[in-house]
Amino acid sequence: MAEKQRQVLMQIVQKPGNNTCADCGDKDPEWASCNIGVFLCQECAGIHRSLGTDSRVKSARLDNWDAEQVEYMDGVGNEKAKQKYEYCVPVFYRRPKSNDYNFLKKEWILGKYQRLEFMESANQSAYSCQRKEGVLMKLGRDRRIFQLRKFVIDRSENRLSYYIIEDSGKTSSKPKAEINLDEVNAVFVPEKIGNPYGLQITYYKNGSTRCLYVYSDNSKEIVDWYNAIRAAKLERRQVAFPDRPLAKLTDDLTRDFTLEGWLCKMGPRHEPFKRRWFTLDKRKLSYFEDPLNAFAKGEVFIGHKDNGYSVSFGPPEDESNCGENCFQLHTPDRDFVMRAEIKDEMDQWVEKLKQVVEMPLSPQDSKCKLLTDCSY
């Protein structure tokens, strides 16, 4: 009898909508929440177990299922459950995908099934608010230690600010920095910061990109700040461009870095290679002496191939002592010679850079070119 029910269940999981994880979209889920009625991948099933009685997880292949449970799974399924638990997901909210960080999936799942955030918009005040205040640990620009800082998002002013908190616990009356939200990007970088809830906030300051490195004590706090930034930016765009479709307005609210890692770079006058941390952020290639520097050592805008930008394998013809795994980024002003430690890393950088020079320019790219300080 149990084997028969498993066979029926395996037919149900193949139905459209059920054949991907209900929470992250991963293919071929082999787990299920028998009281919620959704099919899950292994990672999301593990998160569901932390919900206790709110979600009872079973293996679709290995556990025994009775007829009543199978009937319930067939009657609900992923699509019907989403209609209930994702009834009012804000368009700015980042829905995690299968390759996203586990803590993003965790907060998405807790928000859906435990806090019921997406069944009523009233449950979304932690990020859907006109003004958000709170504290985060921030890395000092000169004193390279993390210290508590008060952060404020003010939608009415289109501004992100942060304040120094004195040793006495008193917050300074004037902000240390006031940042135009239009220029803000936020990227999760837990490995780089060395904290599981690390976030990098970037914006333009005096023609260069300023990097803030922050983290929170828990995943909910940092995910709420991340989505609050996205919410504020979307509201601003809706006011500025009321006739544009939401899909256009939500595009690029925040963007993950395309690629990051260590490379060696030759100096502009063929000086010896120096090890630098590189970040490819859409069309902007930045390099740092240290991954957690506040400002890049240099930044390069990468245009379209028709405008004199290209990528090639190997060193310049007149350089014979560059070693292996060299490649070049060619721009109208200068050729950048770089070297990776291993061939796979070189291939990855060349592939991503080639994708950039093949990509058509957008109006936002033109603004980036004007703002980027190409100091080599």
Domains defined along the chain, listed by start: 2-123 (1.10.220.150), 127-250 (2.30.29.30), 259-371 (2.30.29.30)
Interatomic CA distance for residues 87 and 82, integer angstroms: 7
The pLDDT assigned to 1 comes to: 54
pLDDT for 374 beyond 50: no
Order of strands, sheet of 57-59, starting from the edge strand that comes earlier in the sequence: 38-40, 31-33, 57-59
Query: Residue 10 contacts by C-beta under 8 Å, 6 or more apart in sequence?
Result: 60, 61
Interatomic CA distance for residues 163 and 153, integer angstroms: 12
| DSSP 3-state of 194 | coil
The pLDDT assigned to 317 comes to: 81
Interatomic CA distance for residues 7 and 19, integer angstroms: 15
Interatomic CA distance for residues 46 and 276, integer angstroms: 38
Bridge partners (DSSP) listed for residue 177: 162
The pLDDT assigned to 370 comes to: 66
Q: What is the mean pLDDT of residues 103-115?
A: 98
- Between 272-281, 343-352, 358-367, the lowest mean confidence (pLDDT) is in 358-367
The pLDDT assigned to 322 comes to: 80
Contact 94, 114 (CB under 8 A): no
Instruction: Mark 340-363 as b/e (b = at least 16 C-beta within 10 Å).
Output: beeeebbeebbeebeebbeeeeee
- Between 26-35, 111-120, 357-366, the lowest mean confidence (pLDDT) is in 357-366
Q: What dihedral angle (degrees, nearest 10) is formed by the CA atoms of 81, 87, 89, 95?
A: 20
Structure tokens given for 335: 């050729």
Shortest CA distance to 124 belongs to which of 55, 227, 215?
A: 227
Query: Residue 329 contacts by C-beta under 8 Å, 6 or more apart in sequence?
Result: 285, 300, 302, 309, 310, 311, 335, 336, 338, 353
The pLDDT assigned to 74 comes to: 96
- Between 35-49, 81-95, 355-369, the lowest mean confidence (pLDDT) is in 355-369
Percent of the chain with pLDDT over 90: 84
Interatomic CA distance for residues 17 and 15, integer angstroms: 6
The pLDDT assigned to 372 comes to: 67
Contact 296, 286 (CB under 8 A): yes
Interatomic CA distance for residues 178 and 313, integer angstroms: 43
Contact 313, 302 (CB under 8 A): no
Percent of the chain with pLDDT over 70: 97
Shortest CA distance to 234 belongs to which of 281, 188, 282, 181?
A: 181
Work out the angle at residue 226's Cα, subtended by the Cα atoms of residues 56 and 356, and round it to the nearest 5 degrees.
Answer: 110
> SS in 3 state form for 61-102?
CCCCCCHHHHHHHHHCHHHHHHHHHCCCCCCCCCCCCCCCCH
Check the CA dihedral 120-125-130-136 and report its sign: negative
The pLDDT assigned to 337 comes to: 95
Bridge partners (DSSP) listed for residue 199: 188, 214
pLDDT for 160 beyond 50: yes
Q: What is the mean pLDDT of residues 65-81?
A: 96
Q: What is the mean pLDDT of residues 86-98?
A: 98
Average pLDDT score over the chain: 94
How many CA atoms lie less than 13 Å away from 154 in the CB half-sphere?
A: 11
Task: Please write the tens of the pLDDT for every residue from 307-327.
Answer: 999 999 998 887 767 889 999
pLDDT for 174 beyond 50: yes
Locus of tokens 């139905």: 15
Name the pLDDT band for 282 (thresholds 50, 70, 90): very high
Interatomic CA distance for residues 223 and 106, integer angstroms: 10
